[in-house]
């Protein structure tokens, strides 16, 4: 049995109905929950993500998702995939809008992410049936759904001709709130976001900038609370050492008497959760 939502269906997302030419129907996988669509944020950005882009996406999205905002993105590698992963790592919810048929995992090497979204009560949706292949024209159609489901869009890294700018333009067309994260002036992946800011997009300096647009005030995630609730013993030991001084993986391995591969796995997960960031090989506590 196929899971289909038609535009005449009472459970069709209300915000999506308001856009120009909303999909007459779309297909989905996962457990449908209307609450998922109440407060959605579109998170989009470059496929050619920099280390800065990865760090800031993990940090911002983990805090936003932890506050109850559903993260909507397009499932592509780079910023999209990082946003989905960060939402899941924070215990939040996410919706992946596919540029292909609902039964096709694209890109195929993200099969684990596809499964994790479904396992954690997220949704996979598409207006394309079965194994319909992605094409140049399916991406803009996908982008209109990403923007259409969301009260606001946050752009994190975008080149001059990034597809994320299409989503940004649709966001403004639909009269939704547009946010952009400032990046390094020397980075080609900041050209698009800086252009959006010059044109009037709201600057994002912290998660609260986004949460305020959703009527969530003074939502603060205590570092101590997060450490006690979301970190295991090894992760807490890593945080303790890094609070003393930034370190490389090999130094943490020697101090904690744990293999470098175990430390590497832990710090990667902690980056996705927004606890750490890496710069020139050293890890820092956020």
pLDDT number for residue 171 = 97
Domain 4-213 class in CATH:
alpha beta
Matching CATH topology for 4-213 and 223-285?
no
pLDDT number for residue 220 = 55
| Dihedral angle, C-alpha 41, 221, 87, 184, nearest 10 ° | 70
3-state helix, strand, coil in the chain (%, to 5): 45, 15, 40
The pairing of beta strand 25-29 with beta strand 123-126: antiparallel
Domain ranges for the chain: 4-213, 223-285
Q: What is the CATH number of domain 223-285?
A: 1.10.10.10
**Positions of the chain with pLDDT under 50:** 222-228
pLDDT number for residue 228 = 46
Q: Model pTM?
A: 0.80
DSSP secondary structure letter of residue 201: P
């Amino acid at each position: 049995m196929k899971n289909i939502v038609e535009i005449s269906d009472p459970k069709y997302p209300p915000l999506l109905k308001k856009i120009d030419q909303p999909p007459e129907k779309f297909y989905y996988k996962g457990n449908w929950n209307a609450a998922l669509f109440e407060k959605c944020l579109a998170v989009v950005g470059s496929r050619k993500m920099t280390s800065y882009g990865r760090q800031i996406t993990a940090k911002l999205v983990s805090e936003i998702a932890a506050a109850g905002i559903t993260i909507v993105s397009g499932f592509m590698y780079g910023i999209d995939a990082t946003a989905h992963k960060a939402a899941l790592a924070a215990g939040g919810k996410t919706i992946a809008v596919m540029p292909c048929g609902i039964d096709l995992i694209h890109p195929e090497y993200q099969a684990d992410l596809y499964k994790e979204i479904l396992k954690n009560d997220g949704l996979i949706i598409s207006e394309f049936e079965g194994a319909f292949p992605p094409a140049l024209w399916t991406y803009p159609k996908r982008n209109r759904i990403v923007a259409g489901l969301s009260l606001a869009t946050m752009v994190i890294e975008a080149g001059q001709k990034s597809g994320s700018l299409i989503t940004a333009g649709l966001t403004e067309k639909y009269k939704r709130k547009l946010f952009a994260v400032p990046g390094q002036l020397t980075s080609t992946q900041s050209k698009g976001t800086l252009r959006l800011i010059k044109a009037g997009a709201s600057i994002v300096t912290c998660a609260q900038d986004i949460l305020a647009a959703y009527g969530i005030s003074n939502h603060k995630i205590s570092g101590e609370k997060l450490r006690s609730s979301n970190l295991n013993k090894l992760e807490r030991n890593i945080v303790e050492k890094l609070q003393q001084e930034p370190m490389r993986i090999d130094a943490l391995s020697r101090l904690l008497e744990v293999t470098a591969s175990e430390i590497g796995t832990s710090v990667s997960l902690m980056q996705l959760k927004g606890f750490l960031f890496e710069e020139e090989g050293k890890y820092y506590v956020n």
